Amino acid sequence: MFALLGLIGTFVSLSDLLDTALPIQWRILISLFILVLVWLVFFFFCSIYFIFNHRMEIFEVSDGHHVYVQYGDIFNENEVLNPYERRNIVIPVNRCFDTIVDDDLISSNTLHGIAMRKLYSTNRFNEETLNTEIQNNIHRQNIEPEIIQRIDKRSGNLKRFPVGTVAEVKDTNICTYFFLGLSTFDSDLHAHTSDKEYVLALMKLLEFCNTRSQKYPVVMPLIGAGASETKKSERDILEYLISLIKMNKNLINCDFHIIIRDSGKGSIPITNL
């Protein structure tokens, strides 16, 4: 705002616009009116810009790729710059990679549950075949699980994989899911993630994306803001994700789109990142 006024001042001054015969009080009032008017016009155009431009470029990484923060829907193909090319969608899940969406083991309202139901709606997978696909993908990565007992987790899979394990599942030619093993379920199916596990999971995710993104854009939510009980605010999570990616630019070989839910516009500003 002040820079704009300074620029205007290089071409014309208020004293040139005002009649010197006017009383000083009137000149002050007119000057204030002009300043307020310029501020309102500037504010109006900035508001219009931010309303219609929901995506902010945060910084550039390598080979012309960028990190973006934006409001939207992680499942919407229009969140990437080219909706007709492949995109990789990161979905945080529990470390047993359960596939039963029954509002007990997996809530249908979580990203985990929504992603699973979308896969089932195409009739390409059901709960059993998706579970097999995920387990086979992890097995091909030579990742060994921990076998837990039913007393430790009253339903679902009993193979618990290391935190940060990623299972890759292809939905269509333009949509591939990266299921990130983040949380641990207790016997009551409550999700838990420690700070150490959280950091390790994100680092492993960046390494996986470096290897398996095939340079196609990665779309990710505010990981840990859901049901994994990281006890972190969404704003803190956003700032941490940006810092982590910035510190590991060498691992980024594609565009990254960090998606904030549309309802977060009022509480999670992205203009001052």
pLDDT tens-digit profile, the chain (273 residues): 444 445 444 444 555 555 556 566 665 676 677 677 776 665 555 555 445 557 889 899 888 899 999 999 999 999 999 999 999 999 999 999 999 999 999 999 999 999 999 999 988 899 999 999 999 999 999 999 999 999 999 999 999 999 999 999 999 889 999 999 999 999 999 999 999 999 999 999 999 999 999 999 999 999 988 655 556 788 899 999 999 999 999 999 999 999 998 877 777 877 776
**Which SS3 state, helix, strand or coil, does residue 160 take?**
strand
Q: How far apart are CA 202 and CA 182, in angstroms?
A: 9
- pLDDT number for residue 232: 77
Length in residues, the chain: 273
Task: Single out the residue of 206, 8, 185, 235 nearest to residue 88, CA to CA.
Answer: 206
- 272 within domain boundaries: no
CATH number, residue 172? 3.40.220.10
**Type of residue at 116:** M
43 and 175, same domain (yes or no) = no
Residue where one domain finishes, among candidates 28, 50, 72: 50
pLDDT at 270: 79
Q: Which of 226, 241, 255 is nearest to 92 (CA)?
A: 226
Does some domain include residue 17? yes
Alpha-carbon distance of 181 to 163, in angstroms, equals 6
pLDDT reported for residue 2: 47
269 domain-assigned = no
Q: What is the mean pLDDT of the chain?
A: 85
Residue 182 lies in a domain: yes
Same domain for 108 and 16: no
Are 174 and 213 contained in the same domain?
yes
- Outline where DSSP puts E strands in 37-103: 55-60, 66-71, 87-94
Residue 273 lies in a domain: no
> 212 and 117 in one domain?
yes
Inter-CA distances, 17 with 3, 8, 23, 31, Å: 20, 13, 14, 9
Does a structural domain hold residue 198? yes
* Torsion over CA: 72, 87, 82, 239 (sign): positive
DSSP state of 145: P
Q: How many domains does the chain have?
A: 2
* Domain membership of residue 28 as a residue range: 2-50
